[in-house]
Amino acid sequence: MSIGKAQILPPPYIRGNLSINIVVRYPQTQLTSNQQTTDLYIIGNGLGLDWNNPTRLTKSSSPDIWSIKLTFTGSQNGYTCSTCVYKSVLSYNDRFEFRIITSNRIDMIGANFGLPLHQSMSEPFFESRQHIVTPYFFTRTGSVSGTTVKSATDTIIGTRRWYYYLPPSFKENTYKTYPTLFGFDQNAVYLEAIKSMVEQATVDLGISDEVVIIGSEDYSVENVTENSGTNRGRLVLLTPSPAVEYFCTEGTFGDACNGCVPPEASMETLGAEGGDFRIFYEYLKNGCGYPMVIGGHGDKYLDYMTKEVLPAINSLANNRLKTDSENVGLFGCSLGGLMSCHGTYTRPETFGFGACQSASFWWPRQADLDLGFEFLNKTLKTMQGPRAPQKYYLDVSMDEVDPYYSQRETHIAVFNQLKENSKQFKTDETLFFSLIYDQPHAIGACNSRIWEFIGHFSPASGSPNKPI
């Protein structure tokens, strides 16, 4: 049987007419009041698409909408923009990036907009591809406000004070919506400090997109105090299970239980010198303190956050918060870090991101002082296999090495267990770890590291670079 003569192939087939319709949503009244014009332009960022002259966006008949249609031709090397000034090639692995500017050359704030160009449905049988963007030009700082939210179902939670940060573009571009990040242990002072750090990332550096941050440190719980009157409500609300906690029979931890605990074994001395806190708790167990079963209200607190706090603040934000799991995250330090990991891992349908900083993975303490490490030894090891897409960020200080809490080693173990549990957890893609040097175990220290994970939660679609 003959297969005939070899055929000469024609030149490679080149796809043409790959089009993208870029749509800009922005209030025309803002442009009129700020610069007496209604014109917008689009300019490329230099990824092979060096437009030395901006291209005018066409005003549609709909209010506050501008658009432009860009056409590309495919090749074996990548894409060429047919409607651009220069016909350089954008490789298949690059993103098409652009910025919006006004007619008097006011550049948009933040990172470039970016999108992949490869189109699986580019033939006439499918709808044309559309990419909607919501730039802002004039506002560089956001605001922090407060409100109270009453639980309709939980008498222990009752009414609590919450604070929320709205980013710079919120009042300027009313079409923009935002991912939402819940922070534990966040009061108005902390949120103001976080605001400056987040805006450096979003406005000045353009390494992430804007977010709304919601936080509280209102943990007061009736009849749960130390002898000094200091409330220990965090142990009630920021723990997923009950445990035995020891309190001083006389005095407080600060005065070594009225001198019952020797100075070399006091909590403050051990904390300053990095000693073994087991020694301190042994003194409590053997006469200086008394045990109390405490904690375990964490899941009800998470219900309150997602089912009552989030809707209440979303209403104050004109329903502009994204509430799908991909766009809702948690962050926290110490017990807050534990709840961030617990909440994210046990509720993948609700939270798509968790930042667990210096997390108290040692919880719960047991009556015989053996550590529980429940999240590592039970939660992670009984909930394995495929799950909804998520991202995790863990960090811990090199100084957190007390053998009683084992925080540094436990963070490493949690990181490794997450990778073992599901193939979707990939280092530096969906799972991030940062080992911190020269920082104490403290809320303020954890907050100083928020820039490390804000871009993982809310990544900018394009690079932070300005156009060429």
Query: Among 119-123, 154-158, 349-353, which is the least confidently predicted range?
Result: 119-123
Residues facing residue 43 across a β-bridge: 99
Residue 382 has pLDDT above 60, yes or no: yes
Per-residue confidence (pLDDT) for residue 448, from 0 to 100: 94
Average pLDDT on 113-121 reads: 79
Residue 134 has pLDDT above 90, yes or no: yes
> CA-CA distance, 200 to 448, in Å (whole number)?
12
Mean pLDDT of the chain: 89
- φ and ψ at residue 129, rounded to 5 degrees: -75, 135
Query: Among 371-375, 412-416, 431-435, which is the least confidently predicted range?
Result: 371-375
Residue that the structure tokens 């014009």 belong to: 37
Confidence of residue 277 (pLDDT cuts 50, 70, 90): confident
Longest dimension (CA), the chain: 102
312: closest CA among 196, 195, 216, 194? Answer: 216
Residue 424 has pLDDT above 50, yes or no: yes
CA trace torsion 97, 99, 100, 102 (10° rounding): -150
5 or 103: whose pLDDT is higher? 103
Per-residue confidence (pLDDT) for residue 49, from 0 to 100: 52
58 or 82: whose pLDDT is higher? 58
Residue that the structure tokens 């949503």 belong to: 25
441: closest CA among 267, 229, 304? Answer: 267
Residue 50 has pLDDT above 60, yes or no: no
How many other C-beta atoms lie within 10 A of the C-beta of residue 69? 12
Residues facing residue 23 across a β-bridge: 67, 132
Per-range mean pLDDT, top range of 18-22, 229-233, 260-264, 399-403: 260-264
Q: How far is the first Cα of the chain from the last one, in angstroms, to the nearest whole number?
A: 62
- Are residues 451 and 436 in contact, defined by beta-carbon separation less than 8 angstroms? no
Concatenated DSSP letters for 406-443?
Answer: -HHHHHHHHHHHHHHH-TT--BTTTEEEEEE-S--SSH
Confidence of residue 304 (pLDDT cuts 50, 70, 90): very high
For 233, the 3-state DSSP assignment is helix
Per-residue confidence (pLDDT) for residue 75, from 0 to 100: 80
How many other C-beta atoms lie within 10 A of the C-beta of residue 116? 11
Per-range mean pLDDT, top range of 63-72, 141-150, 232-241: 141-150
For residue 283, give both structure tokens. Answer: 């003194």
> CA-CA distance, 365 to 382, in Å (whole number)?
20
394: closest CA among 381, 371, 375? Answer: 375
What is the number of helices (H) and of strands (E) in the chain? 15, 20
Per-residue confidence (pLDDT) for residue 136, from 0 to 100: 96
Residue that the structure tokens 């796809």 belong to: 15
CA trace torsion 149, 150, 152, 157 (10° rounding): 110
Residue 6 has pLDDT above 80, yes or no: no
Distances (CA, A) of 300 to 187, 287, 383: 21, 34, 20
Specify the CATH class of 143-220+296-457 in words.
Answer: alpha beta
- Are residues 357 and 343 in contact, defined by beta-carbon separation less than 8 angstroms? no
Per-residue confidence (pLDDT) for residue 387, from 0 to 100: 85
Average pLDDT on 122-126 reads: 69
How many other C-beta atoms lie within 10 A of the C-beta of residue 204? 12
Average pLDDT on 69-89 reads: 79
Confidence of residue 468 (pLDDT cuts 50, 70, 90): very low
> CA-CA distance, 457 to 186, in Å (whole number)?
18
- φ and ψ at residue 304, rounded to 5 degrees: -60, -45
Residue 110 has pLDDT above 60, yes or no: yes
Per-residue confidence (pLDDT) for residue 23, from 0 to 100: 94
Tell me if the domain spanning 18-133 has CATH number 3.40.50: no
Residue 122 has pLDDT above 70, yes or no: no
Per-residue confidence (pLDDT) for residue 77, from 0 to 100: 82
Q: Write the CB contacts of 331 (distance below 8 Å, at least 6 apart in sequence).
A: 181, 182, 183, 184, 340, 354, 355, 356, 357, 450, 453
For residue 426, give both structure tokens. Answer: 């990939």
Indicate the length of the chain as a whole number.
Answer: 468
CATH topology agreement for domains 18-133 and 143-220+296-457: no
Angle between helix 450-457 and helix 188-199 axes, rounded to 10 deg: 70
Angle at 190 between CA 184 and CA 192, to 5 degrees: 125
Residue 69 has pLDDT above 70, yes or no: yes
Confidence of residue 141 (pLDDT cuts 50, 70, 90): very high
> CA-CA distance, 284 to 261, in Å (whole number)?
8
Q: What is the CA 273 to chain-centroid distance, rounded?
A: 33
Q: Sketch the domain layout of the chain as residue ranges.
A: 18-133, 143-220+296-457, 242-295
Average pLDDT on 231-251 reads: 90
Per-residue confidence (pLDDT) for residue 457, from 0 to 100: 96
Residue 46 has pLDDT above 60, yes or no: no
30: closest CA among 99, 90, 109, 123? Answer: 109
Average pLDDT on 26-52 reads: 74
